[in-house]
Chain A
């Protein structure tokens, strides 16, 4: 099948593609009325002499070629330009420079449920969403039953989607998306959302699609899913291709790239309490081998290294140190305190580095805030509230490739655990 596909020399060819944003273009999210008035007067004054804002190159000089039938993962940290690349490829935004050639119908899935309307029924939304994703009405009608069955929503198909639970909503959205059958499929992070059983179903569907000789470009942070699905990886950093080749080494160099030190200089920090004769001077993260880290990875070792210094150069007896973790909303998650894990108080030299080691980071992808605490001889010396931030990316905490259970959308703390099941003879109780 697909003889015509085999004839095209490539599926996608990207040559020297750059994308420039003028800073400030994306800044006004939800301006208030007052902002608008200020903006209005500012705008009236500026009219005529357009100020050339400082440009930001989201992509600069991207080159690659993708063969028909390849499944390619695009990785990179936040803001590296991955999503911009997909947007340019799917014609949502135009490149500033360069040229792209594409053989085949492109389906882009930058978000599931695009264009879903809460007032419309499931049936109506399938048609609307399918049409937005580029399916013809006939095509949708042909696949309709299949889509409904895939979503397992037969009974609710004529209910307005505003009455759906979030799980049902996502299932329906995925189902439509999964039945998109263009030659080239661009997917952004959709599998990161919810419902693992359904994700598996979708992964299966994607595998099936790729076996049909279709080309898939897949952007994600989820390295586990990528290893599973892609043969080739392209690593993007600062808008440039940093690595391109078999998926495993590309993922490895991505993870290595995360190890860039961001030491916090705490000398100038003002948000602190305590007597202050001993101060934290510097904080940074390290991996298990002492290499500096910029982001934590769930399930991997994380070391918080804290430099401290006593003003008077005297040794510090009877000390207690702790690092408390909060989520982005300021909720306390847990506290790693020396007094919990060591029988005796710490006796410290006048200056040095304290290291708090977490063998398997029990946090899922998110940003966290850390509070640092140091007490000497029952006297609080330094207490830095929300002093440093920790950026965590999803990793394989449980060794199963899964971090969230079916239908569970909460993110936060991961706890190692185990389940035992009744052995055969217990069954009769």
Chain B
């Protein structure tokens, strides 16, 4: 069995050198470790759904519960406008991507510190740890999408052609979550206090994003500033994609484009920052 290996495999040649400053992303290295990446996602999911008594039900209950509270507080009591869509539908459409994003920041943020035993014992591109934490959340997102379908059926809302854009939106939301999550993960290795900052950050960020209120509430002259937040354009677009027919709205291509650009820049920046800090993870964690 070894002979087979010996015959058709080139001996890999590796050079390790002291490095300072920025280093290349080594995407090839990431590709070589794709199996471990998938295994880590698989482990996260398996463990999460095996450990809890209710398992998958949590993925349904969490956004549904949030939606109920928000619908009562802001829909009934505060009577926030919702662009002519029933408020529960409106808020749930925003909560879908938001819950995914917020959970991703939490789990990715703590992922490196929680993987000390791996980081100090074995080599692999460290990026796959926060990335696996973010991507594992996609399963929850898909489950909540099913709930959204049920909710829309209940309200008699039928999605239109705009739904076709949903995969793109999921991709862009994931990119944003990866960008911020990876950066937070690397920072948390160096500054453990980041762990206490993340809940504040997500809460503050949620209010700066049209999750519980429509972006139309934001004064016109502040809009361009408002849409620098990549989640703003994204969540508005999620609503149009899911509820376009009901809402009768159009995609705001400018804000969605801004989101796409900001999210990509964010991801590239944090990937390089991550690579730069990665060298010291094993010494710090």
Contact surface of A with B, Cβ cutoff 8 Å: 1-5, 7-8, 18, 21, 25-26, 28, 31, 36, 39-40, 43, 87-106, 108, 110-111, 114-115, 117, 119-120, 124, 127-128, 131-134, 136-137, 142, 181, 183, 212
Contact = CB atoms under 8 A, between A and B. Distances in A.
Contacts of A134: 122, 124
B279 A93 contact: yes
A40 B6 CA distance: 54
Top 7 nearest A-B pairs (CB, nearest first) are A91-B123, A100-B16, A94-B279, A93-B282, A2-B6, A102-B14, A114-B121
A308 B28 CA distance: 68
A212 B4 CA distance: 13
Contacts of A31: 192
A90 B13 contact: no
B264 to A, nearest CB: 28
Contact of B6 (A3, A28, A88, A101): A3
B12 A104 contact: yes
B6 A5 contact: yes
A165 B149 CA distance: 47
B9 interface: yes
B9 A4 contact: yes
Contact of A90 (B3, B7, B122): B122
Contacts of A120: 43, 46-47
Contacts, number: 138
A110 B118 CA distance: 10
Contact of B2 (A25, A103, A181): A181
A230 B161 CA distance: 69
12 contacts: A91-B16, A92-B123, A98-B17, A101-B15, A104-B12, A108-B123, A110-B122, A111-B121, A117-B47, A119-B51, A128-B39, A183-B11
A5 B11 contact: yes
A414 to B, nearest CB: 31
A110 B5 CA distance: 24
Given A1-B2, A3-B6, A36-B192, A114 B122 contact: yes
A36 B124 CA distance: 30
B79 to A, nearest CB: 40
A7 B11 CA distance: 9
A88 B123 CA distance: 10
A4 B9 CA distance: 8
A95 B20 CA distance: 10
Contact of A4 (B6, B18, B118, B121): B6
Contacts of A115: 117-118, 122
A281 to B, nearest CB: 42
Interface of B: 1-3, 5-7, 9-19, 35-36, 39, 43, 46-47, 50-51, 117-124, 191-193, 196, 279-280, 282-284
B18 A136 contact: no
Contacts of B5: 181
Contacts of B15: 99-102
A100 B17 CA distance: 6
B18 A90 contact: no
Given A43-B191, A90-B122, A108-B123, A101 B14 contact: yes
B283 A25 contact: yes
A131 B35 contact: yes
B129 to A, nearest CB: 11
Given A92-B120, A120-B47, A212-B2, A101 B13 contact: yes
Nearest to A138: B35
A131 B2 CA distance: 18
Contacts of B11: 4-5, 7-8, 103-105, 183
A216 to B, nearest CB: 15
A108 B283 contact: no
A102 B5 CA distance: 18
A181 B279 CA distance: 27
A128 B45 CA distance: 13
B15 to A, nearest CB: 5
A35 B160 CA distance: 55
Contact of A102 (B16, B19, B39, B192): B16
Contacts of A117: 43, 47
Contacts of A111: 117, 121
A93 B120 CA distance: 8
A95 B18 CA distance: 5
Contact of A26 (B122, B279, B283): B283
B279 A92 contact: no
B50 A119 contact: yes
A380 B219 CA distance: 88
A94 B283 CA distance: 9
Given A2-B2, A28-B192, A119 B122 contact: no
